[in-house]
Amino acid sequence: MSGRVEVKPEAEFDEGDHEIIEANGRSIGVIRYGGEFYALSNTCLHDCGPVCTGRVHEKMTGEHEEPGQPLNWYHDEDEVVISCPWHGWTYDVESGKHIGDDSIQLPTYDVIVKDGMVYVETDLLDR
């Protein structure tokens, strides 16, 4: 199968929504966060949990202001991540890469918004 899979109208896709669709026997999560759409495999690479039903948030990053001092933590607005609800594995929503080991990567898919409808590009599923 190739082509686009319809998700739902953009107007019904609220900020923070997670929509789970089935395409070619695969479960895919479509997420709207910060006005952007992302689509990833919904099958966590740890133990097959429903990763796309987890919490989406900005990655926490820590930096030392001075050697020997505690880390100064902040939210990194440039890196949005999703945490699997089962055991917390966390992935970058854009690349699908695990935040602690970039050799672990969830498949990601293109999201297209056309004429007010949100689609996932399924041509990529046939790779």
- The contact mask relative to ligand FES for 17-56 (x = CB under 6 A, - = no) is ---------------------------x-xx-x-x-----
Query: Which range, of 27-35, 68-76, 83-91, 101-109, touches ligand FES by CB under 6 A?
Result: 83-91
Residue from 33, 89, 91, 119 binding ligand FES (CB under 6 A): 89
The C-alpha atoms of residue 29 and residue 21 are separated, in whole angstroms, by: 6
Instruction: Confirm if 1 and 24 have CB atoms less than 8 A apart.
Output: yes
Our finding on whether 86 is near ligand FES (CB under 6 A) is yes
96 binds ligand FES (CB under 6 A): no
Query: Two tokens at 42?
Result: 């919904």
How many of the other CB atoms lie within 10 Å of CB of 61? 14
Judged by beta carbon, residue 70 or residue 100, the one nearer ligand FES is 100
The site for ligand FES (CB under 6 A) is made up of 44, 46-47, 49, 51, 84, 86-89
